Structure 1
């Protein structure tokens, strides 16, 4: 009889016991430890050690429901549950560490019957126990999800929205649901020509893109105006993705003059061009040296004013080296630091550690000498920046109503296919945005 299951089981038990101590020290570490325990159990073919039961129960037909992640691990940790009667899901800025809201002292909440919600790469990181804002502000089990679209079912006093309005918006988790309570400033009406599935694809990616451009020196808001200088070129990694596609289009609206996109696969080139790229470089079948040379040639051998990079260890250093004088590298993710697998194997953890050790450490003195900057952000921590996010949202809605940008290509899935959507987005094969239909609350 193989000793592997016994060894893995013992290791998993020790790790989970140790996580109790870790909880008092570092909750991010605790959840990463739990993910390792789940990995060991998966590897040995054992059932995972379980902790507290998830909130709610299995839903019946027609009942309000949500999709939650029980604990860090693979896609087996995703499950659908019933939302208790009279309750909703909500973001952490409404009720911290609360999965379902039965009432709140806030007087600005709009209840939305959700017809569609979007899937983001961040949701995969939440599932793997690697998303700090989710761990710090919610914990597990958690209902993830930032983007929603649906119909208003209840409004507070002094609200411009009314029951029956079709809306879209952003929530700080809680979006994988058929019923969500959202502060009114995080919602906007959907223009008539936009479908609900298209609207659900917009909030996270468009807000991320607009903030990235603002701090890079291409602001849409006049009060954030920064002189652009002579060089107005932009390089966008993952230009056919959700955020990348918005960056390409918004960059043009904000004054960029040469927008170059980078995509992984050749078949994504046409879509990136349709979004407005002046040139597209694909990496498939090429060495790093080859495609980076094409990136240089696409801007006439001159460095870029701004580079937007969510790849992580694979491209960060080279991106910095391809900045022009006064150029800015904007970082909003670390996709290549993770494997494409649906869960993290022991080998995956080793690769992640190696990747972390290889991450560039940008030196402040050297950046001063280079006259370059590296900037990073994560909008899921912006709970107190309501005015700024509101301004961004107003800009996006104005552009949307005026049809100034192309809506994301939507890949539509059903609510019982969330695990499949996580696998797709991890594979790197998706183009555009992944949106889930709840089969409720559609007009």
Structure 2
């Protein structure tokens, strides 16, 4: 088969489409003929040599895919060849085939295009596990989403609104804020022009920025608020005012998804299938696609992501 190979760290130009050994499914694996994958920040970090795949994962980038089941391992009962599926991966999505533990595989929601389904696994699992499982966002509470126009942000807006929350986003332009409002956001803050910490008080904050936003995030929390940090685009270190945290009886959570054990990922995946997929099938949530790029031209897809001009997901189509 063919896959995107990274021989050395560098810019998008190091992503090479070439022939590699085909994966074989283990006893508990599902082998998928990949229809599409999607680009995530973690893929860029892997390309740069900053975020290698966990032990046992394929060396190729790609944390999600959609496609058709080609073969199943001896211990797999829930899937069969020909099933239309999407999957949460530890790596290997930028390829024509990938083998993945059955616990991380989901049937494509009814009414969703097979290629577009590749835009859902990583963001749905990230938002569900962090906003709802970890931070326990409840109906009527306020959610602040940093990077509201990102793939994660566009899904977080829709899912939180579907569960009855008030949603505020930050974004870097009026155009991006307008797109977020179209998806259901109640308010938008242009972080280039306004300090979000002076404008909003939130019960839950979903943060992809990290260190640089830590003081402002703590200030923006309500009493009993929950901050969940899932990215470090603004650095890995920041000043934490413990006094403010204590007075507010607030909490700070840092999480990752890629390196979790298979069983933990399986719990998250089941939660997505039970709670998110019905909303997708009902039309309350839809994948937001910025561009479709041939998988062999993954370098161009990375350039689009790094430009910061996109809204939603960038798909790599086999």
For normalisation by structure 2, the TM-score amounts to: 0.91
Q: Which runs of 5+ in 2 are unaligned?
A: none
Counterpart check, 1:411 vs 2:291: yes
Superposed CA offset, 1:329-359 (max 9, x none): 111001234xxxxxxxxxxxxxxxxxx5xx3
Report the equivalent of 2:211: 313
Displacement after TM superposition at 1:136 (Å): 5.0
Displacement after TM superposition at 1:420 (Å): 1.5
Indicate the structure (1 or 2) with the bigger Cα radius of gyration. Answer: 1
Report the equivalent of 1:299: none
Report the equivalent of 1:223: none
Report the equivalent of 2:19: 82
Report the equivalent of 2:180: 272
Q: Distance in 2 between matches of 1:176 and 1:405?
A: 25
Displacement after TM superposition at 1:271 (Å): 1.2
Report the equivalent of 2:40: 120
Equivalent pair of 1:73/1:128 in contact (CA under 8 Å): yes
Equivalent pair of 1:197/1:410 in contact (CA under 8 Å): no
Report the equivalent of 1:253: 162
Displacement after TM superposition at 1:261 (Å): 1.2
Displacement after TM superposition at 1:397 (Å): 2.3
Equivalent pair of 2:167/2:187 in contact (CA under 8 Å): yes
Q: Normalized per residue, which structure has more strand?
A: 2
Displacement after TM superposition at 1:170 (Å): 1.0
Q: Distance in 2 between matches of 1:155 and 1:274?
A: 41
Counterpart check, 1:389 vs 2:305: no
Equivalent pair of 2:25/2:73 in contact (CA under 8 Å): no
Displacement after TM superposition at 1:281 (Å): 1.7
Report the equivalent of 2:280: 400
Q: Distance in 1 between matches of 2:300 and 2:211?
A: 26
Equivalent pair of 1:198/1:410 in contact (CA under 8 Å): no
Q: Distance in 2 between matches of 1:409 and 1:81?
A: 26
Q: Distance in 2 between matches of 1:380 and 1:217?
A: 21
Equivalent pair of 2:145/2:156 in contact (CA under 8 Å): yes
Superposed CA offset, 1:60-100 (max 9, x none): xxxx210022222222321112133xx22xxxxxxxxxxxx
Report the equivalent of 1:147: 64
Report the equivalent of 1:216: 135
Displacement after TM superposition at 1:121 (Å): 0.9
Superposition pairs of residues 17-32 of structure 1, within 5 angstroms: none
Aligned match of 2:247 in 342, 350, 369?
369
Q: Distance in 1 between matches of 2:250 and 2:84?
A: 44
Q: Distance in 2 between matches of 1:279 and 1:255?
A: 15
- Worse-matched range after superposition: 389-398 or 328-337: 389-398
Q: Distance in 2 between matches of 1:135 and 1:162?
A: 27
Displacement after TM superposition at 1:327 (Å): 0.7
Displacement after TM superposition at 1:366 (Å): 5.1
Q: Normalized per residue, which structure has more helix?
A: 1
Q: Greater relative contact order (Cα 8 A, min sep 6): structure 1 or 2?
A: 2
CA RMSD of aligned residues (A): 2.2
Counterpart check, 1:333 vs 2:231: yes
For normalisation by structure 1, the TM-score amounts to: 0.66
